[in-house]
A = this chain, B = another copy of it.
């Protein structure tokens, strides 16, 4: 990208901002000019927060969730059920499950799903550490909570194969119509699945 602005500092800031996903040169310029209109402490604290974030955050050595300590607060919480592991793709998925307030077990963040198209093979994911955790024993259940996509299903199947020789029970998320979902707007595959896996009526 050619140099566009008279000011090297502006050029630099726009260049760096536009490397963020979903932010092009135009948006980056708008953000930079916005920052120039604010007080110095506004851009100082933004810049510092970005620097501190990456320096201060590491990955939990147990579940690979982000953490400010070697063991994340979830793994360190002894009131949680450490015999149930929920396997998720990303850190964000942990946040999603936590926000349901329905899950009291621990997690294992794979860091993605197997995707030959994107060049992601099993050894680039946190799979062997999962197998080790489960093989170490004291695990009752492994919940596969991956996306219901082709890559997610492939990964589910791969994990199931790797885990099947171990004593832990392997389960996966229920698939069916969304809560508040209308039948007419639900796709056929989901509808078929919801019929096959129908559950006893309850209120």
Contacts and interface: CB of A to CB of B under 8 A. Distances in A.
Given A6-B72, A66-B36, A72-B6, A16 B45 contact: yes
A51 interface: yes
Given A47-B50, A91-B33, A92-B33, A56 B9 contact: yes
Contacts of A47: 46-51
Contacts of A183: none
A161 to B, nearest CB: 28
A29 B95 CA distance: 11
Contacts of A53: 9-10, 12-13, 32, 35-36, 43
A46 B42 contact: no
Contact of A52 (B9, B52, B57, B68): B9
A27 interface: yes
Nearest to A74: B6
B52 A10 contact: no
Contacts of A56: 9
Given A32-B53, A54-B38, A73 B6 contact: yes
Given A29-B92, A40-B54, A92-B33, A46 B9 contact: no
A193 interface: no
Interface of A: 5-10, 12-13, 15-17, 19-22, 27, 29-36, 38, 40, 42-57, 66-68, 72-74, 90-92, 95
13 contacts: A5-B95, A9-B52, A9-B53, A9-B57, A13-B49, A13-B53, A16-B45, A21-B31, A22-B27, A38-B54, A44-B51, A44-B54, A50-B50
